[in-house]
Amino acid sequence: MNKRSHSIAFWAAVAVFLVAVLSMTQIVRNEYPFFAGYVILQFIALAVAWSILGGYAGYVNFGTNAFFGVGVYTAVALFNATGAPLVVQIAAAAVVGMTLGFGVGLLTLRMRGIFFSIATIALAIIIETFVMNWRFVGGAAGIQIQRPPVTAPFDSYVKMLFFVQAVLVVIAIAIARYIQNSRIGRGLQALRDDELAAECTGVPTLRLKLIACMISGALISAAGAPAAMYLQYADPSSAFNLSYSVSALAMALIGGTAHWIGPVLGAILLGSTQQLLAVTISSEVNVLVLGIMLVLFVVGAPKGIIGLLRPRYRLRAGGKQ
C-alpha cells in the first residue's frame, strides 16, 4: 500500500513538473532562463545517471565526459549524415552509450576501486583522440551546426531543448528510482558493501555491474546528445571536457548517493550556484566553488545533503553515527 501511494505521489510530481516546464516555455518570452535552465537540467540528468553506477554500485566512474562526448558526436554524425530529427539523435546516442557501457564494463568492471576509475579516464582520452581525427564531424577544429526549424508548440529552439532535457531528466530519475526499489538495487547495494559476500549470497555481481554501467552510460550519452544543437557547435575538447566528469561526480556526492533525490538536489544546488556565479562574477570561479563545496561536504557531511536531512539514509549509506 505504502509503496503504491509513493508511486502515485512520484508520478503526480513528474506530471506537475513537466506541465510546469511546458507552460513556462509557452508563457515566458525571455530566452535566457531557458538557456541557463538547460544547463542545470543537463547536470541533473548527468548526476542521476552517474549515481546508478557510481552511487548504487560504488564504482566511481571518471569517464562521464567520454559518454557525454559520445552522445554529442553521435548526434552530430547522425545529423550531418541524414539530418535526423532530435528525438532520433537522442535515441541513437542512448544506444551507442549503452553499447559503449557494455564494452567498457566488460573490460574494466573486474577492476576495483581506483583502478576502475583510472581506466575510465583513459577511455575518455582514447575516444577524444579518435574524434579529433574524424574529419566527417569536424576533427579537432570542431563543427558548426545549423539548427533545423523549431517544431510547434515551441517558438524557439532553446525552449524546445529545455523541454527535451526536462523529459530526459524525468526518464533518468524514473529509471534510477526503479533500480533503487528493485532487486537490482538491492544487489548493487550488496556488491557495493562486499562483493565476495554478495557473490556467495547468490548475487550475479558482474552481470549487475554491467547492467548498471550500460544504463548509466545510455542516460549520460542521451543527456549529452542535444548539447550540439544547444551550442550550435561541437568540438572535441569541450564535448569531452573532464569538467563533466568532475561535476557529475561532485553533484552526486554532495547530494548523497543512497537515494535518487540526492544527485537531483546536488545538481540543483551546484548547477544554479554555478549559473549565478557565471553571471555575477566570472565563469572561472565555478571550478573554485565546486572544489570548495566538495571539500566542505566531504568533511562535514560525507553522506551528502540527504545524509543531513534523513538520518535513515545516513544509516543506509553505511555511516555509524
Query: For residues 138 and 246, what is the distance between their CA atoms, to the nearest angstrom?
Result: 26
**Cell triple for residue 160?**
524546445
Give the residue, chosen from 15, 107, 133, 193, that forms a contact with another protein under the rule CB under 8 A.
193
Categorise residue 202: left if φ over 0, alpha if ψ from -120 to 50, beta otherwise.
left
> In the complex with another protein, which residue's Cβ is closer, 280 or 321?
321
Asked whether position 187 contacts another protein by CB under 8 A, the answer is yes
Of the ranges 145-153, 164-172, 197-205, 262-270, which one interacts with another protein (CB under 8 A)?
197-205
Instruction: Please tell me whether residue 290 adopts helix, strand or coil conformation.
Output: helix
Asked whether position 316 contacts another protein by CB under 8 A, the answer is yes
> In the complex with another protein, which residue's Cβ is closer, 7 or 144?
7
Phi, psi of 204 (to 5 degrees): -75, 80
Instruction: Please tell me whether residue 319 adopts helix, strand or coil conformation.
Output: coil
Asked whether position 198 contacts another protein by CB under 8 A, the answer is yes
Asked whether position 315 contacts another protein by CB under 8 A, the answer is yes
**Cell triple for residue 57?**
554500485
Query: For residues 65 and 240, what is the distance between their CA atoms, to the nearest angstrom?
Result: 5
Give the residue, chosen from 8, 152, 196, 299, that forms a contact with another protein under the rule CB under 8 A.
196
**Inter-CA distances, 156 with 140, 149, 152, Å:** 30, 9, 9
- Number of residues counted as binding another protein (CB under 8 A): 25
Of the ranges 100-108, 117-125, 183-191, 287-295, which one interacts with another protein (CB under 8 A)?
183-191
Give the residue, chosen from 3, 8, 29, 202, that forms a contact with another protein under the rule CB under 8 A.
202
Phi, psi of 207 (to 5 degrees): -65, -45
Q: CA dihedral in degrees (298, 303, 305, 309; nearest 10)?
A: -140
Query: For residues 76 and 68, what is the distance between their CA atoms, to the nearest angstrom?
Result: 12
Sole residue written with cell 568492471: 109
Please report, as residue ranges, which positions from 244 to 263 form the binding site for another protein (by CB under 8 A): 258
Q: How far is the CB of 197 from another protein (least distance, A)?
A: 4
Of the ranges 60-68, 76-84, 188-196, 233-241, which one interacts with another protein (CB under 8 A)?
188-196
Asked whether position 112 contacts another protein by CB under 8 A, the answer is no
Q: How far is the CB of 48 from another protein (least distance, A)?
A: 19
Asked whether position 131 contacts another protein by CB under 8 A, the answer is no
Asked whether position 201 contacts another protein by CB under 8 A, the answer is yes
User: Helix, strand, coil: what percent of the chain each, to 5?
Assistant: 80, 0, 20
Instruction: Please tell me whether residue 263 adopts helix, strand or coil conformation.
Output: helix
Please report, as residue ranges, which positions from 203 to 232 form the binding site for another protein (by CB under 8 A): 203-206
Query: For residues 252 and 242, what is the distance between their CA atoms, to the nearest angstrom?
Result: 16
> In the complex with another protein, which residue's Cβ is closer, 197 or 281?
197
> In the complex with another protein, which residue's Cβ is closer, 198 or 218?
198
Asked whether position 311 contacts another protein by CB under 8 A, the answer is no
- 208 close to 188: Cβ distance less than 8 angstroms: yes
Asked whether position 275 contacts another protein by CB under 8 A, the answer is no
Contacting residues toward another protein, per CB under 8 A: 183, 186-187, 189-190, 192-194, 196-206, 258, 315-318, 320
